[in-house]
Structure 1
């Protein structure tokens, strides 16, 4: 049986993405599961993988992008317990999810409630787990505190807003004017970064307990200046560097490390979902399971602006790089 996947034979622009057809399905080895992929996210992180600039990523082309997926168990290899064909599962793949079928280690899979829609479920795997862990595991915010969220209209940003609202946080979110309605609808105070100096606004508001910043470079410093005493900056991305707008990943790391050493009453901690998963693999499964519970209870409603076909991955990447997406894009790969 043949199947389709999106590959890149070299790092580069969205044009390097192409759909190919494989003639035979991969066979699971011992401890592996073959998954029929139902949905995969198209994220900014995927665009960094495609460009070959995702920090710490060592794979080389040819490869398929795709940082997360939700799918159906299609076949199990030997010595696999707890999974059976027809069961819905999720995984943080990092790469490879832009494919109709893929092999995964059974140890990395997380069961997905059968009543949850695949598009909603996959929205939680990267974006919401990242937001949940930054709030609860890193910043350890408390009800009633205040936070600043950059890119509040994006995939992780909207997740931070929705989860922050559940904690009764006072939330300030920077985003373009076109995303104001979305940001305010999720309970945050919108700050148009093109027209307003967020540092001055934070000074007027009494500063915040935590700031979540994926912009990088000078923005990290400005976010750090927006913190109350005892506050924490959580950098989790390098947008400016990835978009060729300046900045240096090693320099940013050094700056943040220096701020932690200086006696300024504030701290900063880089967040990486991959690094935290390696250190505490059980946390990822626990946190994703907690998010699935919130989704089933109707307390979460992921902002999905577009559902696109696997074959439209190139267009999805173009939209992401144009910052034209409110919330997230989900690639529908297979039907159940």
Structure 2
């Protein structure tokens, strides 16, 4: 291939069919030309998370059909503008959530989904904000409307969204508790929260012992039985915000029994709305972005300012090359990942 020809191609990861990490394949493809209203972004960092795993397994609600390229979030440099695009210039650094398609050297993204990224910030840390920190911030601020002095329980406090939620909770003046296990409890402590080891103790009983009358806000990315039981730790006026489907997986793979239990227990969790003074809500980042695009731009912009000022220190679990996507999914399946896995093309 000539040098000119090489510059007209990209690498991207393709899910060839629903299944395990072995379904991830690195291929070469033509460089995408941005269509009307689109911007081609040369990726600097791409997040890897459980939504990607759920799409690969075929259990993500409304997810794409194979073959497709996964990748929910990215940061990169504007490389080319499609017809009709204004307000952004080549060379500017931007971030976006794409839902899928980001595991690639370059991606065409609708202009309205782009948010400018400050100069001088680490792309691997910045991509943590595009999905994980926005999820945590909007769940706490937009959905739960948490206020200073309130108590928050975060399930999976050492994970990507969980660790983000604990950092944000500290900036909001919240008293934070988090479920974790093993070394994850040390991560939670380091983020200024009180850990509850869910493998060694019943979190409902332990939270009652620690707080007396319960929790004001629960953030739950696990779902299923955890969500249903979380209603029991809410004090009067308490809010449960559900945002994930982690419990539908077993060892990082689709599990029919767990999927059935997830929806059955989820229905029980929603019954918490019948309890006086309790509220149960769901949150989905892409849905919120589409319904309230100004929120996404404003909230991510604010988080970028906090990052640039040193108020946030995202926990990057590992930086892997693009051809390490399969390894990243295997690490997620193995468990014990603290923070966010990032691909650096």
TM-score by length of 2: 0.93
Matches for 1:89-238 after TM superposition, within 5 Å: 89-204=94-209, 205-206=211-212, 207-238=214-245
Query: The residue matched to 1:269 in structure 2 has which SS?
Result: strand
How big is the shift at 1:65? 0.4
Alignment of 1:267 onto 2:279 = yes
Question: Contact 1:4 / 1:99 at 8 angstroms: preserved in 2?
Answer: yes
Comparing 194-203 with 92-101, which one deviates more in the overlay?
A: 194-203
Partner-residue secondary structure (3-state), 1:246: helix
C-alpha deviation, 1:253, in angstroms: 4.6
**Contact 1:33–1:73 (CA<8 Å) still a contact in 2?**
yes
Instruction: Give ranges in structure 1 of 5+ residues lacking alignment.
Output: none
Give the deviation of 1:257 after TM superposition.
3.5
- Do structure 1's residue 278 and structure 2's residue 294 form an aligned pair? no
Distance 1:198 1:257, change over 3 A: closer
**1:247 CA drift (Å):** 4.6
Partner of 1:317: 329
Query: CA separation in 1, counterparts of 2:90 and 2:288?
Result: 30
**CA–CA distance in structure 2, aligned partners of residues 316 and 215 of structure 1:** 20
Name the stretch that deviates more: 110-119 or 302-311: 110-119
What corresponds to 2:5 in structure 1? none
Relative to structure 1, is the Cα distance of residues 32 and 247 closer, same or farther in structure 2, using a 3 angstrom cutoff? closer
Deviation at 1:259, TM superposition (A): 2.4
SS at match of 1:46: helix
- Note the C-alpha offset of 1:167: 1.6
Gaps of at least 5 residues in structure 2 are: 1-7
Deviations 1:30-85 (A, max 9, x none): 2111111111001111111111111232x211110000000111111221111111
> Cα deviations across residues 180-217 of structure 1 (Å, max 9, x unaligned)?
22110000111111101110112112211011112211
Change in Cα spacing, 1:103 to 1:247, as seen in structure 2 (3 Å) is closer
Contact 1:73 1:86 (C-alpha < 8 Å) held by counterparts: yes
| Mapped contact 1:209–1:227 kept (Cα < 8 A) | yes
CA RMSD between the two structures: 1.3
Residue 282 of structure 2 aligns to a residue whose secondary structure is coil
CA-to-aligned-CA distance 1:111-159 (integer Å, 9 cap, x gap): 1112222111111011000000011001111111111111000000000
Aligned residues of 1:216 and 1:247 also touching (Cα < 8 A) = no
The number of aligned residues is 330
C-alpha displacement of 1:306: 0.5
